[in-house]
Amino acid sequence: MSKSTPTAVVTGAASGIGRAIALLAAERGHIVIAVDKDQQGLMSLEPELQTHNAKAFCRTIDVSDADQMTALADEVFDRFGQVNLLFNNAGMVVNKPVLEQSVETWQNVVNVNLMGVVNGLLAFVPRMIQQGSRAHIVNTGSVASFISGAGLGSYTATKMAVRGITETLQQELAEKGADIGVSILCPGPVDTPILAGSGLIADNLENGPIDDAGKTEEPDLMEAISPRRCAEIVFRGIEAGDFAIFTHPSYKPVCQALINATLGL
Residues with catalytic function: 155
Rounded CA-CA distance 265/250 in Å is 20
> Nearest 5 degrees, angle CA 186-CA 119-CA 6?
70
Cβ atoms of residues 98 and 155 within 8 Å = no
Cβ atoms of residues 183 and 238 within 8 Å = yes
126 class by beta-carbon count within 10 Å (0-12 exposed, 13-18 middle, 19+ buried): exposed
CA 95 from centre of chain? 20
151: left (phi over 0), alpha (psi -120 to 50) or beta: left
